[in-house]
Amino acid sequence: KPKTDSTLDSIRAAIEGRGRLMVSVSRSEEILTCVEACNAYGIKPVLVGASGAGSVADKIRGKVTGVIVTSTASANALAKSGIPVAFGSGAEEGAADLPFYVASGVHLGLSPAVVVQSLTADAATILGIEDRVGRLAPGLDGDILLLDGSPLDISSKVLRVWIDGEEIE
């Protein structure tokens, strides 16, 4: 039996459908080449960054798991094309800036429905955890926040919180 290279386990998992392959790309030509190469091995990659994805959305629809965007420029075009979109902060500490990033996206014309879906169901699908989280449904893990305003308004305050069905005070 041949030896296996454990450094390739993540690629093997993606080929077998047990994991996601995330690829950082930006230009439209680079995106198309990446998607074609991955698809040749049965992989639907997750594109990260992919600033040029909006211009090739029709060519990659159904061929990618989704796109983690780091700017709002192509998010609307991708979502309108039926490609799942999630917002990425680019760093652990960058997650604190996501509310401002999302609010600015809405301010610049991003659909509030696209924003909410990208933060919930689409993000879970892209990460391959949609069987556990991403929607409020029986059998899924879910936490609920009650806010005094829109979840897309950075001035909204948290009034109540439920985690695993229990209210936290």
Instruction: Give the model's pLDDT for residue 149.
Output: 92
Give the alpha-carbon dihedral of 72, 95, 117, 169, to 10 degrees: -150
Q: What kind and span of H or E run contains 147?
A: strand 143-147
Give the pLDDT band of residue 124 (cuts 50, 70, 90).
Answer: very high
**Predicted confidence (pLDDT) per residue in 86-115, tens digit:** 988 777 777 777 777 777 778 777 888 888
Q: What is the mean pLDDT of residues 108-134?
A: 89
Give the pLDDT band of residue 143 (cuts 50, 70, 90).
Answer: confident
Of 93, 101, 13, the closest CA to residue 85 belongs to 101
- What whole-number distance in Å separates Cα of residue 29 and Cα of residue 8? 26
Q: What is the mean pLDDT of residues 157-164?
A: 92
Q: What kind and span of H or E run contains 113?
A: helix 112-119
Instruction: Quote the mean pLDDT of the chain.
Output: 88
Answer yes or no: is pLDDT of 118 > 80: yes
Instruction: Give the model's pLDDT for residue 67.
Output: 96
b/e code 117-130 from CB counts within 10 Å (16+ = b) = bbbbbbbbbbbbeb
- What whole-number distance in Å separates Cα of residue 84 and Cα of residue 64? 9
- The DSSP symbol for 45 reads P
**Predicted confidence (pLDDT) per residue in 48-89, tens digit:** 999 899 999 999 999 999 999 877 777 888 888 999 999 887
- What whole-number distance in Å separates Cα of residue 69 and Cα of residue 66? 9
